[in-house]
């Protein structure tokens, strides 16, 4: 296997491990089971996204934010998402690739959280709608 093929295989393993851990998570599992029904095409899209982030392959041709707007995420789900992602990236990717992926994932989580919950409620908690 060439170095490039091994790096791509590691990304796919990372994505699969992320979803394995997410589906076992009490917060993420129900969200992902409700939203994703055709797993193999979904895993390919997500692997293409991370391949582009880590190696600049440019295979992903979508908007990563738009589908996440539809998920029934609450603010605490982002911590669960990051924990599952960071552990999968650390376990499957070479250290420099894991560092890149984790840096981008943290930025995405913060950006998505701010975009999905742009308001605060009367108690100061993140909210989708103004109170």
Nearest CA among 57, 41, 45, 40 for reference residue 5: 57
Phi and psi dihedrals of 29, rounded to 5? Answer: -50, -55
Residue 24: strand, helix, or coil = helix
Helix (H) or strand (E) holding 52: helix 39-55
How confident is the model over 4-58, as pLDDT tens digits? 899 999 999 999 999 999 999 999 999 999 999 999 999 999 999 999 999 999 9
Give me the pLDDT at residue 43, please. 97
Q: What is the pLDDT of residue 82?
A: 98
What percentage of residues in the chain have a pLDDT greater than 70? 99
Closest to 56 in 3D by CA, of 11, 92, 19: 11
Average pLDDT (83-108) is: 98
Torsion sign over Cα 37, 38, 40, 42? negative
Output the pTM of the full model. 0.91
Structural domains in the chain plus CATH codes: 3-127 (1.10.490.10)
Predicted pLDDT at 69: 85
Check residue 68 and give its pLDDT.
85
DSSP tag of 94: -
């Amino acid at each position: 296997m060439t170095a490039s093929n091994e790096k791509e295989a590691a990304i796919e393993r990372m994505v699969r491990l992320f979803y394995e851990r997410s589906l076992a998570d009490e917060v993420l599992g129900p969200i992902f089971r409700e939203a994703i029904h055709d797993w193999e095409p979904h895993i390919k899209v997500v692997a293409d996204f991370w391949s582009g982030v880590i190696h600049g392959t440019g295979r992903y041709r979508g908007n990563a934010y738009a589908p996440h707007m539809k998920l029934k995420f609450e603010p605490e789900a982002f911590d669960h998402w990051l924990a599952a992602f960071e552990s999968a990236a650390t376990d499957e990717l070479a250290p420099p690739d894991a560092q890149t992926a984790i840096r981008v994932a943290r930025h995405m989580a913060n950006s998505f959280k701010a975009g999905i919950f742009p308001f605060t409620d009367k108690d100061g908690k993140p909210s989708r709608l103004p109170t």
